[in-house]
Amino acid sequence: MNAIILLGPPGAGKGTLAESLRDETDFIHVSTGDMLRAAIKAGSPIGPGAKVFMEKGELVPDPVILGIIKERIAQAAGDARFMFDGFPRTLEQAKLFDQLLTEIGGTLLKVVNMSVPDDMLIRRLSGRRICKACGAVYHMVNIPPKTEGICDNDGAELYQRPDDNEETVRNRLSVYKNQTAPLISYYREQDLILDVDASMTPGSTYAFTLEALNG
Ligand code: AP5
């Protein structure tokens, strides 16, 4: 198994970049945030516990996250290539992931470090809207749908994520700085970091990243 990691604060555009990369490469997109939201919706046993942390913008405990990651990897072929979005998010998760890679003979190819100024992150998150049916992600100003509040793909209604309110967003940014940003040094020491200025347009961010990953 080979993998890349998309590392960046809330609203950096990890999900948006992952969607474009997925369309043009063979990477399987694995978003722990999406998996947790799906678990809550499906009424899975981990759902209620995870929901409490997510609503506050806190991190879901490491053992729960490692459990869903192991389960997802086990479902794929041995030579699958994964693109992790939002995982790992703590040093403990990163170390356990290293152990897992060693156990299964996997290789971490690159860690894409997406940086965006805080004021831009807040604007991106407060304007984000998501399709209730297909999950397509829009932004009211940057990437608006053709008709306000309606998905271009299927005509379904768009909604705002409950953790995209201003108070929770500020907590998510602070959690990122305290618990996730230390991973940048961790992976830089392993010479795995690819720095990306993710304040560019979605198209430019994608083109730069794809070229750097291929180069
Ligand atoms: P998660 O769902 O992973 O949220 P996040 O990391 O906070 O990231 P977001 O999904 O908010 O942002 P994004 O970077 O994907 O940006 P997007 O592309 O949507 O996690 C949610 C919660 O789950 C966590 O708080 C935690 O509780 C829990 N969790 C998840 N993983 C965990 C883990 N490993 N450990 C513990 N807990 C975990 O873009 C944002 C907006 O900007 C959109 O509107 C988009 O259209 C727009 N946009 C994107 N790119 C651009 C661009 N280049 N220019 C202009 N606008 C853009």
Q: Check residue 205 and give its pLDDT.
A: 98
User: Is residue 88 reached through a cis peptide bond, with omega within 30 degrees of 0 on the bond before it?
Assistant: yes
Residues 6+ apart with CB under 8 A from 34: 15, 85, 135
Average pLDDT over residues 109-138: 96
Q: What is the pTM of this model?
A: 0.97
Total domains, the chain: 1
Average pLDDT over residues 79-90: 97
The range of the structural domain enclosing residue 28 comes to: 2-117+175-214
Question: Has residue 215 got a pLDDT over 90?
Answer: no
Annotated catalytic residue, options 14, 37, 124, 129? 14
pLDDT per residue as tens digits for the range 147-176: 999 999 999 999 999 999 999 999 999 999
Average pLDDT of every residue of the chain: 96
* Protein residue with least CA distance to atom 50, ligand 1: 13
Average pLDDT over residues 71-90: 95
172 catalytic? Reply is yes
Q: What percent of the chain has pLDDT over 70?
A: 100
CATH of the domain at 39: 3.40.50.300
* Protein residue with least CA distance to atom 9, ligand 1: 10
Q: In this structure, is residue 105 part of a structural domain?
A: yes
128 catalytic? Reply is yes
Length of the chain: 215
81 catalytic? Reply is no
Q: Check residue 170 and give its pLDDT.
A: 95
